Structure 1
């Protein structure tokens, strides 16, 4: 009897040791190359290696990621610095725990005759509603742009193609590829190159999660960063899962997005080159906070630093 109980105890201990913490991660849009590292960490068993059973769920136009995170229907989400700072101001206690991209990949697509962003003064600019409460106030302050020159961007590039006096928002791995496929020559200006400070593709969770389950957060951050490093080396496993989640995604778009991310060093450029991937700094967050306040997108608040923590990245040291 005693030996049977001992055997049962050992079996239970072994089961517990191999139990995976279940985690749900919510992306910002339909599955694409810019989400590749998360899918890669699932496909290659990197999350599993770190004791995590991760479900990646797609975002989209009808998905309110902040609401789902706050309601406990997701443990982590792919976020933005402005979004989290606004959440803190609105009483939603989110916190950014890592920056997958060292810069925000938002930028402007223009016709070939434009040589610099300041040349767009007076030209038509197509932008989505989200741009009006993030980067457009920064552009207005920096280059003297006005609301009068803006038009709604409906994620259709035809109006831009038809108007040689127009520019439109875009991401380097998306709109330039669409233009290339349509036989249109364009230029792309990355806002980060002009001093736009936010990080891109951040990992966000609730402050409660970071406080009560720091080990899970730490393992998720490390596994995700390892997943991204793997994806940029060989994207095939991650791309297979991306296409499974988003059947409309094609190989050409994935390959283009992957190439652009490597060329522009979103993951391994900036501070990441010396301090390790995923890194964030107080100085960068200060610049983003100051920008939001001066652009009147945020009221001054004493607790703005609650929007991020360096706890999970300061000793990560995953070198690109």
Structure 2
């Protein structure tokens, strides 16, 4: 396995990174899983939605345990810098597969990016208002008059009004302060804001680790506002030439998630030393533990990870279109191809 820390690489940089990995050097390089090159395993690249964090443990664990090799895949994991960049890089053929947030996937497809979702794995949205447990904010109603850090344009922020409406609040009841990802965390840590909007399985464990304080999550899904989050995508061009490989990739990812759910500590440990951006081990484990809660809806609770329900897709499109995130909402087939679902 080779890991590259840039989200979008030029050909020259990519060649240099591969050369370093072949020599066993370079930041973020890692050894292949036991068993060598896996015989006829085909090289496949996957770009994450962000720098590696606990949600991504199944990919590293699947490589470590030889699951991807078993399915004929020699996987290279690349860090990302946001789902939109991952979607665009995948659509441009810079990587074979992407791991991206469904709202960003759908919005970019509406803008003409030629990608398809092969299956969503985080089927309950991690979107949540995150506050310190000692803040006095226990329910969504307690947000009235408070200041919450947001990031304009991202899915949790765009759908925040729907969450407030479900809680009986109006958008003007809560002051929003627009900050980037790092700025939101810093503002919460310094008590310049009362909380932040983001992914409960990402920022929350990080803040808890840095502050030594417990976090409370006001989850959108608990208020009845749910939509699909992160899943596997590929370009239409790549899929037209690699249908069997895409099916193998979905099966390998699904099996890796199953294995990581059964062995969370081992899965989290598989990320050790793989990239300088990876959080501390305790945070990775907390992030992955929180991610496990997001893998199914009531319609898929007895299904393999990554198996999607058509009604959940319809609900996702309806919610995102209602929030104004989609430019020209189409039917499910515009965004998602079900033929690659794990059996």
Normalised by the shorter chain, which TM-score bucket?
0.7 to 0.9
Q: Deviations over 1:275-311 (max 9, x none)?
A: 3221112211111211222222224444563111222
Contact 1:271 1:279 survives alignment (8 Å): no
Alignment of 1:1-320 (within 5 A): 18-60=39-81, 64-112=85-133, 113-131=136-154, 134-139=158-163, 141-142=165-166, 143-146=169-172, 149-154=175-180, 155-156=182-183, 157-163=185-191, 166-181=194-209, 182-234=211-263, 235-236=265-266, 239-241=269-271, 243-246=273-276, 248-262=278-292, 265-267=293-295, 270-302=298-330, 305-313=333-341, 316-317=342-343
Structure 1 match to 2:5 = none
Q: Give the stretch that moved more between structures: 99-108 or 72-81.
A: 99-108
TM-score by length of 2: 0.77
Contact 2:61 2:256 survives alignment (8 Å): yes
Q: Secondary structure at the match of 2:255?
A: helix
Say what the alpha-carbon RMSD is for the aligned residues.
2.8
Q: Give the stretch that moved more between structures: 187-196 or 291-300.
A: 291-300
Gaps of 5+ in 1: 1-16
Distance 1:64 1:118 in 2: 35
Distance 1:162 1:37 in 2: 33
Distance 1:276 1:119 in 2: 38
Q: Secondary structure at the match of 2:46?
A: strand
Task: Please identify the structure whose Cα radius of gyration is greater.
Answer: 1
Q: Deviations over 1:127-172 (max 9, x none)?
A: 1134376323433554312397110234243433454872212333
Q: Deviations over 1:181-215 (max 9, x none)?
A: 31334311221222233222201111233333221
Cα distance change on mapping 1:242 and 1:270 into 2, 3 Å: farther
Q: Secondary structure at the match of 2:171?
A: coil
Distance 2:108 2:301 in 1: 30
Q: Secondary structure at the match of 1:65?
A: helix
Contact 2:144 2:173 survives alignment (8 Å): no
TM-score by length of 1: 0.82
Alpha-carbon distance, 1:178 to partner: 3.6
Gaps of 5+ in 2: 1-37
Alpha-carbon distance, 1:56 to partner: 0.8
Distance 2:268 2:64 in 1: 6
Identify the structure with bigger relative contact order (alpha carbons < 8 Å, sequence gap 6+): 1
Q: Secondary structure at the match of 1:277?
A: coil
**Count of aligned residue pairs for this structure pair:** 297
